[in-house]
Amino acid sequence: MNKIFALVDCNSFYVSCERVFNPAVNQKPVVVLSNNDGCVISRSNEAKRIGIGMGAPIFKCRDLVKAHDVQVFSANFVLYGDMSNRVMAVLSGFTPNLEIYSIDEAFLSLQGFEHLGLEDYAREIRKVVKRQTGIPVSIGVAPTKTLAKVANHYAKDHPETNGVFTLMREEEIEIILSQTAVGEVWGIGKEKAIFLERNGMKTASELRNAPDEWIKKHLTIVTLRTVWELRGISCLSMEEVQPNKKAIATTRTFGYEVSRLVEMEEAVLAYVSRSAVKLRRQKLLAGHIQVYVETNPFKDTPYYRNSAGTIISPSTAYSPHLIEAAKRLLKRIYREGLRYKSCGVILTNLCPQTNEQDYLFEEKYQGSARHRLMEVMDSYNRQTNGGKILIAAEGLGKPWFMKQAHRSKRFTTRWDELLEVRI
């Protein structure tokens, strides 16, 4: 039986979240910035139209911002995460088969809904999501995930589609792909696009008709899968159960450059703590920890980046053990006399707490006093909305903490930040 995928993608998701709670900016150009108020990571159509690029550093857009009264927001990921959950909850009512692909995208299997009319059904989904969450979405429907992505882009770029485009018929697929630049295809990034164009393939249709042998020889098996998907042969299936995580990372650029080991240590250890909280929330243990530091790559000053890692044995989710390891690693890579711009902590070799192996000489984490201590700390911090009990090594001042000058309120997750309506 032929498969049918719908890709639902929230339009300018972060901007749309801000607009739900701040309708005054509905018709205006709006952008949301990355952490540290660095780059533009979400743009309204109005902002796109006046030429603000995706990922553009905001300081380079200052003139445009001023000239067009662009509304600027700092990222508010607590709010976006909560809005995302609401959208996904609505979507789950429309299919038994939902794959949450990212914070603002989901694949729905529409197999078995043909009798309702795929186009009509997609329009209904779009209408209900908008009504129940305030978030506008675009929907692409096609026989493979990769084609559903293409259909989704088409819906976004063509207002006459009203946000829904179905791409099921072969003749139509061929026409649309011949109008699609090869670099717009899901899985074809900058490098591959340049390579393909150099070899005479400028459109998705040309890639689709390339010989398998040639693709296998010059590119990877992953790209071959993409080519098959463009031909309508489904190679990527629905992944409804979230696969276990392979890595948990906390990385940040600083609000200002750090040039003292003590401060660097505080930052690294604070990120270890954050990572460890994420680790425990997902009931995992880490078997490896990696720390990296980096100076500002955009400056003329000497560039330095280095990382070091070590195996954690036995695997653990106990913050003090991870902190100890991270401290040693940092000492190995820290060079005096440099001005550091960012650092990060990455936990890997993750395994579920329930699969913890037995040790001859060590106590298991599961059920130990350390385990209970972490649970008490986490649950207290959760109830009090974050960070009241922390490991002393993290430091209290956090002067390097990121800049966030324009953050909106966390309307949906904090009682003290509820939306106020004045009449």
Partner DNA sequence: TCTGGGGTCCTAGGACCC
Residue numbers at the binding site for DNA (CB under 7 A) = 34-36, 38-39, 41, 55, 57, 59, 101-105, 149, 185-193, 220-222, 243, 245-253, 257, 278, 288, 290, 296, 298-299, 307-309, 311, 341-342, 344, 402
Closer CB to DNA, 11 or 368, in the complex: 11
Q: Which residue type occupies 368? A: S
Closer CB to DNA, 85 or 368, in the complex: 85
163 phi-psi bin (left φ>0, alpha ψ -120 to 50, beta other) = left
> CA-to-CA distance for 169 and 151, rounded, in angstroms?
12
Q: In whole angstroms, how close is the CB of 27 to DNA at the nearest point?
A: 25
Q: Which residue type occupies 280? A: R
Q: Which residue type occupies 41? A: I
Closer CB to DNA, 59 or 359, in the complex: 59
- Whether the ω angle into residue 314 lies within 30 degrees of 0, i.e. cis, is yes
Closer CB to DNA, 8 or 113, in the complex: 8
Q: In whole angstroms, how close is the CB of 367 to DNA at the nearest point?
A: 26
Largest CA distance in the chain: 69
Q: In whole angstroms, how close is the CB of 93 to DNA at the nearest point?
A: 22
Give the side-chain half-sphere CA count within 13 A for 274: 15
Transcribe 380-422 into DSSP letters: HHHHTTS-SS--GGG-S--TTPPP-SSBPP-TTT-GGGPPP--
Beta-carbon contacts of residue 268 (< 8 Å; ≥ 6 apart): 291, 293, 326, 327, 330, 343, 345
Q: In whole angstroms, how close is the CB of 175 to DNA at the nearest point?
A: 22
Pull the structure tokens for residue 112.
């078995």
> CA-to-CA distance for 263 and 253, rounded, in angstroms?
13
Closer CB to DNA, 298 or 415, in the complex: 298
Closer CB to DNA, 49 or 299, in the complex: 299
Beta-carbon contacts of residue 169 (< 8 Å; ≥ 6 apart): none
Closer CB to DNA, 267 or 377, in the complex: 267
